[in-house]
A and B are shown apart, each in its own frame.
Chain A
Amino acid sequence: MSSEDESGDVGNRGGELAGPRPEERPDPQGRRNKHGVRIDPAVEAEQETRTAVVSALVEHEPGVLAKVSGLFSRRQFNIESLTVGPTTVDGHARITLVVEETDAGIDQVKKQVAKLRPVIQVGELDDHAVQAELVVLKVRGDEPDKVHAITQMYEGQTLDAGPRTITVQITGEQHKIDDAIDAFRQFGIIEIARTGQTALARGDTPTTPGEEPGHAKESGESDDEEPERVETGTYDD
């Protein structure tokens, strides 16, 4: 092909292939950022992270939580909390994940979780969603009246009160829990246990796309008992 190629014995004579050197080659105009997105001056800024609440409906089989949490650690997703519990459908569970990632990262989180075999559906909840967390915290019992007052301010409950310690529970949105914990610090917090956030979409919106309220898609039999248990949800049909 090349004009000087007469003997078929060109190039690589000193371990070198023929062709223009790197600096002699043309340069393309563009660049991408580290997320592989072509850089427009308009969107050149590095992506900011944001907090996303992701809900995954899964088959409740042994090891499913390990599969999801293992996925998060090996793919280096930045996870804030992860909660899991059964739904009204036999054999199904809901995992609620709170992640702090860029938009691209959140997109990957959703797709990678959806890829796991036991995962039925994955959805991301908007800011409008109903979110709650429970915290149990134990403080010193020196000032029971003041502890009680704060517990009431945060609509909490006293679970245990003794001469040395008082244990209360608070439920609610994450910022409320954070505020409550701050308020209890004055008494000296001895121990604390938080569940992590759990959440459902508000109103008629299904929490994961295509999710139907209260019953599995192809299990007719269990339909009868489901409606009663739906009381905890936002559906009442």
Chain B
Amino acid sequence: MSESAPRRADPDEADAEESSTEATADDARTEPETEEKRVQTGAQSVVTALENAGAETLFGIQGGAIMPVYDAVFDSPLRHVMMAHEQGAAHAADAFGVVSGTPGVCLATSGPGATNLVTGIADASMDSDPVVALTGQVPTEFVGNDAFQETDTTGITAPITKTNYFADRADTVGDVVGEAFAYSASGRPGPTLVDLPKDVTQAETTREPGEATTPDTHRPRTDADAESVRAAARTLERADKPVILAGGGVLKGEASEELRAFARRYEIPVATSMPAVGTFPEDDDLAMEMVGMHGTGYANMATTHCDVMLAVGTRFDDRLTGGVETFAPDAEVLHVDIDPAEISKNVHADVPLIGDAGTVLEQLDDELGSETGMDADAIADGYREWREQCREWKAEYPMDYATPDDEPLKPQFVVEALDEATGDDTIVTTGVGQHQMWAVQYWTYTRPRTWVSSHGLGTMGYGLPAAIGARFAAEDDQQVVCFEGDGSFLMTIQELSVAVREDLDITVAVLNNEYIGMVRQWQDAFYDGRHSASEYSWCPEFEPLAEAFGAQGYTVEDYDEVADTVAAALAYDGPSVIDFRIDPAANVYPMVPSGGDNGKFALSEDQL
């Protein structure tokens, strides 16, 4: 890359106005003199590397050991969002990565700053989300001496990052950051971390970071080997009862289009894992929606009774499989994944298809019928009875609820009301708990990257900081709705200050039952209703609390207030919080008890 590149060479539209003086901009590009090198310190190299790699927005918090980097950010076109807590920074970066598909970046200082990032990094790791974390570190000479605000950050984060780096030299620190960025998004995405000792970022260097490249040892496969594709195609041709299980890899691999085309061409029912929600439109006739612990009855019936499962980019988490002994027990599993380590990790793959989700689906499409001469319609015709069976299950196990006038608000009604009041491209973020499940069950998702939630780690408090990150990644006309529970909301509520300061148009819907509701539900089902530490009757009033932060607050207790308040909150140009006082007894069903048989999902508590 050119050493004389002008400081703002990036194509970001935000900078477009500046080139009103086009001539000057061009001059800067052609004249190598404008001199004064961009990079004079390690910290400037870090920031330059981020710019070169295509970073746009940084979420972080200042602190002693990261100060040199922040000093360099001060002169940079990168947008920095100061968060209220490092956990919020990591979740915001994570959600930014989910919505945009490019790594979100978070920054924190050494010691407590770095450890506060840990929850968010672990969350991103479990969900394979692209995140780059940059942490300050005490100067190299103090490392290992238990210096002030020192922690072994690379040691702590080794198990929860795709990889991490300890930057030891100013000359190479930019390259390391560039590699961390490129590696985070490549192959199976995941969080990476670079630990930045203060002396390294302060030290002088004029070495410009090179192009951001992935490590030599990283060689993800794009297309699956032909023999496996052939075996998979023959299996699908033989199948009577095939199901596609779409996982988060479909989203990460930008394979939503290929998935839709493939499923519709061969008319195969599609169930999704929770991270894949939105990759296949839930209003499609073939959509079985989410499978697993709180998945739909019909998705669980279809996946339990299928004879072939084309699993694309899923890691067969236990919340999805239930007890593995009873998971799709009759099915030959064709497993597409870019990460070979996922093959046969939890569920044995009869045919492993290691490669990129979209590419492998196209390979399969090419191969299907190539030996038998059957066309797509003929193959699809073979699945006709099965599709009919799936349709019957959809009728037999409807996702439905009653809305009697004399009962407190049903949370499902609130979710549907917000869904109806917003556009198809609305982004939903959630915390973790009952509200999260209602938000996934009763909202109809039709587009990828509109569902942002904490799946694998199940981090309460994820919703609000995620909404902030999503807001920065979203298009201006895209709405962002955050569902939170009362307990979950309180865990990161301080980020409301950030939403207010940045004037972010976010609508937070709190499904408030004054309980840690999911725990209360389990206590009722499995602990004789002993509500140990799950009652949140000390919950603050969220309406005045929102107002105290400077946000718009609302409280809703009755059905007839829902529509108007939702409309007002969505219309409010800035962060708003609606405290929905929902039925405290409402529970999430269907439910497969932990380790249970997915086909035996309970429709009510007495079936558990």
Contact of A63 among B154, B399, B402, B601 (CB under 8 A): B154
Docked CA distance A79–B396 (Å): 50
* Residues of B close to A18: CB separation below 8 A: 396-398, 400, 603
Which of the candidate stretches B22-30, B36-44, B488-496, B586-594 sits at the interface with the other chain?
B586-594
Q: Residue-by-residue, is B336-350 near A (CB-CB < 8 Å gives 1, otherwise 0)?
A: 000111011111101
A-B contact count (CB 8 A): 144
Docked CA distance A9–B401 (Å): 7
Please report the total number of A residues contacting B with Cβ < 8 Å: 51
Is A12 an interface residue when CB atoms closer than 8 A count as contact?
yes
Docked CA distance A30–B309 (Å): 14
Which of the candidate stretches B66-74, B158-166, B228-236, B276-284 sits at the interface with the other chain?
B158-166
Q: Are B398 and A37 in contact (CB under 8 A)?
A: no
Which of the candidate stretches A20-28, A130-138, A170-178, A197-205 sits at the interface with the other chain?
A20-28
Q: Are A2 and B347 in contact (CB under 8 A)?
A: no
Is A42 an interface residue when CB atoms closer than 8 A count as contact?
no
Q: Are A25 and B600 in contact (CB under 8 A)?
A: yes
Known: A2-B398, A19-B397, A115-B341. A25 touches B589 (CB 8 A): no
Docked CA distance A180–B231 (Å): 52
Q: Are A36 and B348 in contact (CB under 8 A)?
A: yes
Is B370 an interface residue when CB atoms closer than 8 A count as contact?
no
* Residues of A close to B348: CB separation below 8 A: 32, 35-38, 104
* Residues of A close to B604: CB separation below 8 A: 14-17
Is B326 an interface residue when CB atoms closer than 8 A count as contact?
yes
Of all chain A residues, which has the CB nearest B345? A108
8 Å CB interface, B396-450 against A: 396-404
Is B602 an interface residue when CB atoms closer than 8 A count as contact?
yes
Docked CA distance A19–B400 (Å): 11
Q: Are A116 and B400 in contact (CB under 8 A)?
A: no
B608 to chain A: closest CB distance in Å?
9
* Residues of B close to A1: CB separation below 8 A: 394-395, 398
Q: Residue-by-residue, is A98-111 near B (CB-CB < 8 Å gives 1, otherwise 0)?
A: 00000010011001
Is A70 an interface residue when CB atoms closer than 8 A count as contact?
yes
Is B34 an interface residue when CB atoms closer than 8 A count as contact?
no
Of all chain B residues, which has the CB nearest A21? B607
Known: A32-B347, A70-B158. A12 touches B217 (CB 8 A): no
Q: Are B155 and A66 in contact (CB under 8 A)?
A: yes
Is A128 an interface residue when CB atoms closer than 8 A count as contact?
no
Q: Are B305 and A22 in contact (CB under 8 A)?
A: no
Is B500 an interface residue when CB atoms closer than 8 A count as contact?
no
Q: Are B341 and A108 in contact (CB under 8 A)?
A: yes
* Residues of B close to A108: CB separation below 8 A: 341, 345
User: For the side of the interface on B, what is the size category?
Assistant: 35 or more
B297 to chain A: closest CB distance in Å?
6
Q: Which of B154, B166, B339, B341 has the most chain A CB within a 10 Å cutoff?
A: B341
Contact of A117 among B155, B217, B327, B585 (CB under 8 A): B217
Docked CA distance A111–B341 (Å): 5
Contact of B297 among A19, A30, A104 (CB under 8 A): A19
* Residues of A close to B316: CB separation below 8 A: 36
Q: Are A25 and B599 in contact (CB under 8 A)?
A: yes
Q: Are B401 and A12 in contact (CB under 8 A)?
A: yes
B317 to chain A: closest CB distance in Å?
12
Q: Are B396 and A63 in contact (CB under 8 A)?
A: no
Q: Are A2 and B396 in contact (CB under 8 A)?
A: yes
Docked CA distance A37–B327 (Å): 10
* Residues of A close to B216: CB separation below 8 A: 120
Q: Are A15 and B158 in contact (CB under 8 A)?
A: no
Docked CA distance A116–B339 (Å): 12
Of all chain B residues, which has the CB nearest A7? B402
Interface class of chain B by DSSP: loop
* Residues of B close to A14: CB separation below 8 A: 604
B178 to chain A: closest CB distance in Å?
15
Is B529 an interface residue when CB atoms closer than 8 A count as contact?
no
Q: Are B398 and A111 in contact (CB under 8 A)?
A: no
8 Å CB interface, A1-59 against B: 1-2, 5, 9-22, 25-38, 59
* Residues of A close to B343: CB separation below 8 A: 111
Is A119 an interface residue when CB atoms closer than 8 A count as contact?
yes
Is B201 an interface residue when CB atoms closer than 8 A count as contact?
no
Q: Which of B339, B395, B398, B605 has the most chain A CB within a 10 Å cutoff?
A: B398
Interface class of chain A by DSSP: loop
Q: Are A117 and B163 in contact (CB under 8 A)?
A: yes
Docked CA distance A35–B159 (Å): 23
* Residues of B close to A5: CB separation below 8 A: 398, 400
Q: Are B301 and A111 in contact (CB under 8 A)?
A: no
Of all chain B residues, which has the CB nearest A112? B341
Docked CA distance A21–B321 (Å): 20
Is B215 an interface residue when CB atoms closer than 8 A count as contact?
yes
Docked CA distance A19–B321 (Å): 21
Q: Are A114 and B345 in contact (CB under 8 A)?
A: no
Is A229 an interface residue when CB atoms closer than 8 A count as contact?
no
Known: A11-B402, A12-B402, A62-B166. A29 touches B329 (CB 8 A): yes
B162 to chain A: closest CB distance in Å?
8
* Residues of A close to B330: CB separation below 8 A: 28-30, 38
Of all chain A residues, which has the CB nearest B163? A117
A7 to chain B: closest CB distance in Å?
10
Q: Are B347 and A17 in contact (CB under 8 A)?
A: no
Is A141 an interface residue when CB atoms closer than 8 A count as contact?
no
B515 to chain A: closest CB distance in Å?
15
Q: Are B344 and A104 in contact (CB under 8 A)?
A: yes
Docked CA distance A108–B341 (Å): 6
Contact of B217 among A31, A34, A38, A119 (CB under 8 A): A119
B161 to chain A: closest CB distance in Å?
10
Docked CA distance A13–B403 (Å): 8
Q: Residue-by-residue, is B307-331 near A (CB-CB < 8 Å gives 1, otherwise 0)?
A: 0000000001000010011110111
Q: Which of A16, A33, A111 has the most chain B CB within a 10 Å cutoff?
A: A16
Contact of A28 among B304, B346, B397 (CB under 8 A): B304
Contact of A9 among B162, B339, B403 (CB under 8 A): B403
Q: Are A36 and B324 in contact (CB under 8 A)?
A: yes
Contact of A111 among B340, B394, B589, B599 (CB under 8 A): B340
Q: Are A36 and B347 in contact (CB under 8 A)?
A: yes
Is A164 an interface residue when CB atoms closer than 8 A count as contact?
no
Q: Residue-by-residue, is B450-465 near A (CB-CB < 8 Å gives 1, otherwise 0)?
A: 0000000000000000
* Residues of B close to A104: CB separation below 8 A: 344, 348
* Residues of B close to A28: CB separation below 8 A: 304-305, 326, 329-330, 599
* Residues of A close to B339: CB separation below 8 A: 115
Is B483 an interface residue when CB atoms closer than 8 A count as contact?
no
B325 to chain A: closest CB distance in Å?
5
A227 to chain B: closest CB distance in Å?
24
* Residues of B close to A206: CB separation below 8 A: none
23 A-B pairs (CB sep. < 8 Å): A1-B394, A1-B395, A1-B398, A2-B398, A9-B403, A10-B398, A11-B400, A12-B401, A13-B402, A17-B603, A18-B400, A20-B396, A21-B607, A31-B326, A32-B327, A38-B332, A67-B158, A70-B159, A104-B348, A107-B344, A116-B163, A117-B183, A117-B218
B residues whose Cβ falls under 8 Å from a Cβ of A: 154-155, 158-159, 162-163, 166, 183, 215-218, 297, 301, 304-305, 316, 321, 324-327, 329-332, 339-341, 343-348, 350, 394-404, 585-587, 589-590, 599-605, 607
**Supplied contacts A17-B400, A37-B348, A62-B166, 14 more A-B pairs, CB within 8 Å:** A2-B395, A2-B396, A11-B401, A13-B404, A16-B603, A19-B396, A19-B603, A22-B602, A27-B599, A30-B330, A35-B324, A63-B166, A112-B341, A117-B215
